[in-house]
Amino acid sequence: MHIHILGICGTFMGGLAAIAQQAGHRVTGCDAHVYPPMSTQLSAQGITLIEGYAPEQITLKPDLFVIGNVVSRGNPLMEAILNRGLPYISGAQWLGEQILAHKWVIGVAGTHGKTTTTALLTWILEEAGLQPGFLIGGVPNNFPSSARIGASNFFVIEADEYDTAFFDKRSKFVHYRPRTLILNNLEYDHADIFPDLTAIETQFHHLVRTVPSQGRILVNGTETSLTRVLARGCWSEVETFGQGTWTMENVGENDHFDIRYQGQNQGRVHNTLQGDHNRMNTLAAIAAAHHVGVPIPTAIAALARFSGVKRRMELRGEVRGIRLYDDFAHHPSAIAQTLAGLRIKIGQARILAVLEPRSNTMKLGLMKSQLPNSLAQADQIFGYGATQGKDALGWDLNQVLAPIGPHAQTFEDIASLTHAVVKAAQPGDHIVVMSNGSFGNVHQKILDELNLVP
């Protein structure tokens, strides 16, 4: 079958494209900006990419158009598809029906930590010899790509609560029908599509309804929002982590900890990740792997060789003793967790936080009041908030960060921000760049300018 994918350069749709090709389909696709790293990954696999959404692409005559949620009404190619009555389907539904329907699906859901937990779990299964398929919303360092069809019945997927397509406003994860499900955490996000936390909890309960009675849900036992979700009804086996079935104790240097299952010590985890949130991610991954038959000692051994995920506290470079990290944190809770984890690791060394509040939720300003507290562990803060253009904030970042005092500065252009960070940086500092976008490649610009300082 020839499928043509609209919005192919997004992480999810690009991963879907790779899986479709591995399944034997002919795959082409288009996007508004055919951009790396996904464009280079797909081109290397021989997938033809087209810039833009010209309606003439219908002359490719694919058997099916697969639609990403970046596409909306008014898109010229989508309008041509609708006007001609051509067959189309959402990416999540296609994946669910064509790939996942015959797999043991292991879904990882939650507001934060989905990518890291999915990568952790996939690596554990790989090290256990299970050769899982996977689709991860980031680039795991232990694998050459973010998606593959796999050579076994197991498939690990990042289960995203964002909506499916312009014609299907359910969360994407309702199409996956997991047999093993991790519910990592749940708080308000995606303010552009959800009016409140209750609306998101409803979508999570729809997901719970798809898990078979012989399946298992691994739920964060410390999250009251998830307790409310399960209280609406649950028909599957449940194990809790953080408290209850799976717990940790004796947290030591470098975030190593002892893992306990049903009250019995199972061994010491030598974690390669930092912070309370990553210990919970690790615990969830071990618990899910256990459900599919991976012995706990095997999982523990695998974790010592886990190399992390790009853009999750990824060390991008070090110049004159100044270390610069790239992190995807953009929600206030994730920002706080990232900085708290680094603070525990580095002690009294200075943290310079470089922040772009770019997500739709942050642009709407619904969580702006939480930003000052989320940045409490940073010694100096450099915020980027454009007032003009498509990336402009709808609120005054300088005003929001004013309670922090002189330790916080805001900028409307990348060059000025870069100069200020470089001027402030001293040997021994840790610079953390936080954004869910490219941030104008500010990471490399800071490193380049640091290299010019005598």
Q: In the numeric block, which tokens belong to residue 320?
A: 């004159």
pLDDT band at 389 (very low <50, low <70, confident <90, very high): low
Where among 91, 117, 138 does a domain terminate?
91
> Are 166 and 239 part of one and the same domain?
yes
> Are 326 and 369 part of one and the same domain?
yes
Query: Residue 453 CB: number of other CB atoms within 10 A?
Result: 11
**pLDDT tens, position by position, 198-245:** 999 999 999 999 999 999 999 999 999 999 999 999 999 999 999 999
Q: Which residues contact 426 (CB under 8 A, 6 or more apart)?
A: 322, 350
> Are 260 and 318 part of one and the same domain?
no
> According to the model, what pLDDT value does residue 202 have?
96
> Are 220 and 174 part of one and the same domain?
yes
pLDDT band at 193 (very low <50, low <70, confident <90, very high): confident
Q: pLDDT over 70 for what percent of the chain?
A: 97
Residue 308 forms part of a structural domain:
no
> Are 155 and 76 part of one and the same domain?
no
pTM of the model: 0.84
> Are 199 and 84 part of one and the same domain?
no
Domain that holds residue 386: 314-452
> Are 281 and 145 part of one and the same domain?
yes
> Are 268 and 197 part of one and the same domain?
yes
Residue 213 forms part of a structural domain:
yes
> Do the beta carbons of residue 106 and residue 157 sit within 8 Å?
yes
d(CA 446, CA 415): 9
Q: If we measure between CA atoms, which residue out of 361, 288, 301 comes closest to residue 331?
A: 361
**CATH code for the domain of 223:** 3.40.1190.10
> Are 172 and 299 part of one and the same domain?
yes
> Are 295 and 323 part of one and the same domain?
no
Number of domains in the chain: 3
Mean pLDDT of the chain: 91
**Whole-Å CA distances, 281 to 136, 231, 240:** 15, 23, 13
Give pairs for 27-30: CB < 8 Å, separation 24+. Answer: 27/2, 27/3, 28/2, 28/3, 28/4, 28/60, 28/62, 29/4, 29/5, 30/4, 30/5, 30/6, 30/57, 30/77
> Do the beta carbons of residue 248 and residue 221 sit within 8 Å?
no
d(CA 358, CA 162): 16
> According to the model, what pLDDT value does residue 375 have?
93
Where among 54, 74, 91 does a domain terminate?
91
d(CA 410, CA 395): 13
Looking at the DSSP bridge assignments, the partners of residue 5 are 29, 66
**pLDDT tens, position by position, 327-378:** 887 788 888 888 988 898 888 999 999 998 877 667 677 778 888 899 999 9
> Are 445 and 409 part of one and the same domain?
yes
Where among 91, 121, 144 does a domain terminate?
91
**pLDDT tens, position by position, 292-321:** 999 999 999 999 999 877 777 888 999 999
- On the question of pLDDT at 19 being above 90, the answer is yes
Residue 309 forms part of a structural domain:
no
Residue 65 forms part of a structural domain:
yes
**CATH code for the domain of 83:** 3.40.50.720
- For the ranges 31-40, 179-188, 410-419, which has the lowest average pLDDT? 31-40
d(CA 324, CA 315): 6
> Are 261 and 114 part of one and the same domain?
yes
Residue 244 forms part of a structural domain:
yes
